[in-house]
């Protein structure tokens, strides 16, 4: 006859509970070690950062650093003042350019009006007029120059003062007078 063990059910569960407690213990110990390591690492980092802050504060409070800071602030103030002066000078320069009648643009505009066969010998520019003396191959070229100068819109009058023909060289010597707009002459 076979023995009946009524407690066999409880004996097998003890082994199961022992394994379960073992796994839970291993996981808890691992988590404890991990959390302790992270905490100690953070404490070390905090202490090293505090030491670094103390070093930086002592550096910032030193006399040498304060002198350098005062020098930099002085230079910064001078730079701001110089920048204001520069901006003022730029504004003044722009105003002078606006008032300056005779400039590179003015001369380029006059040069753009010259027909191909017209050559300038003398150009006198004053505050109120422009006088041109030159040589042309034909009277038509002189008339084109006069017309082109009128079309610029810079002059109130453009007058041909005289034209002399040089028959030996088959060319014309001319003089033009242009009165700038806004002047009385």
Identify whether 15 is part of a domain.
Answer: no
- Neighbouring C-beta atoms of residue 152, cutoff 10 Å: 14
Number of domains in the chain: 2
Contacts of 16 (CB under 8 A, 6+ apart): none
Q: Which residue has the higher pLDDT, 19 or 28?
A: 28
Residues 93 and 125 in one domain: no
The mean pLDDT value for 89-112 works out to 78
Residue 164: the pLDDT is: 92
Residues 121 and 164 in one domain: yes
Residue 18: the pLDDT is: 73
- The token duo for 19 is 């394994």
Averaged pLDDT of the chain: 86
Answer for the pair 154, 105: CB distance below 8 angstroms, yes or no.
Answer: no
Residues 88 and 121 in one domain: no
Residues 126 and 71 in one domain: no
Residues 93 and 156 in one domain: no
Four-CA torsion 53, 55, 61, 63, nearest 10 degrees: -160
Answer for the pair 147, 163: CB distance below 8 angstroms, yes or no.
Answer: no
pLDDT tier for residue 134 given thresholds of 50, 70 and 90: very high
pLDDT over 90, % of the chain: 50
Identify whether 48 is part of a domain.
Answer: no
Residues 117 and 172 in one domain: yes
pLDDT exceeds cutoff 60 at 72: yes
Residues 144 and 163 in one domain: yes
pLDDT tier for residue 143 given thresholds of 50, 70 and 90: very high
Residue 101: the pLDDT is: 60
Q: Measure the CA–CA gap between 118 and 107, rounded to whole angstroms.
A: 16
Residue 99: the pLDDT is: 64
Range of the domain at 108: 104-180
Identify whether 29 is part of a domain.
Answer: no
Domain boundary among 72, 97, 122: 97
Identify whether 84 is part of a domain.
Answer: yes
Residue 107: the pLDDT is: 81
Identify whether 78 is part of a domain.
Answer: yes
Q: Cα 175 vs. chain centroid, distance in angstroms?
A: 48
pTM: 0.46
Handedness of CA 120, 161, 154, 102 (dihedral sign): positive
Residues 79 and 108 in one domain: no
Q: Which helix (H) or strand (E) holds 56?
A: helix 8-61
Identify whether 92 is part of a domain.
Answer: yes
Locate tokens 């009128």: which residue?
150
Identify whether 166 is part of a domain.
Answer: yes
Residue 92: the pLDDT is: 83
Residues 135 and 154 in one domain: yes
The mean pLDDT value for 149-166 works out to 90
pLDDT exceeds cutoff 90 at 5: no
pLDDT exceeds cutoff 60 at 177: yes
- Which of 130, 125, 116, 117 is CA-nearest to residue 161? 130
């Amino acid at each position: 006859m076979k023995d009946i063990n009524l407690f066999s059910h409880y004996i097998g569960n003890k082994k199961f509970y022992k394994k379960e407690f073992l796994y839970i213990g291993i996981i808890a110990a691992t988590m404890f070690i991990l959390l302790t390591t992270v905490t100690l690492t953070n404490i070390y980092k905090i202490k090293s950062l505090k030491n670094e802050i103390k070093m930086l504060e002592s550096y910032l409070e030193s006399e040498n650093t304060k002198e350098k800071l005062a020098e930099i602030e002085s230079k910064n103030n001078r730079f701001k003042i110089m920048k204001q002066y520069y901006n003022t000078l730029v504004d003044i320069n722009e105003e002078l350019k606006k008032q300056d009648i005779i400039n590179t643009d003015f001369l380029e505009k006059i040069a753009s009006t010259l027909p191909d066969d017209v050559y300038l010998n003398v150009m006198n520019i004053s505050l109120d007029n422009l006088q041109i003396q030159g040589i042309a191959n034909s009277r038509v070229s002189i008339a084109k120059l006069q017309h082109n100068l009128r079309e610029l819109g810079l002059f109130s009058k453009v007058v041909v003062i005289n034209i002399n023909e040089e028959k030996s060289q088959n060319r014309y010597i001319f003089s033009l007078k242009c009165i700038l707009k806004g002047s009385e002459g």
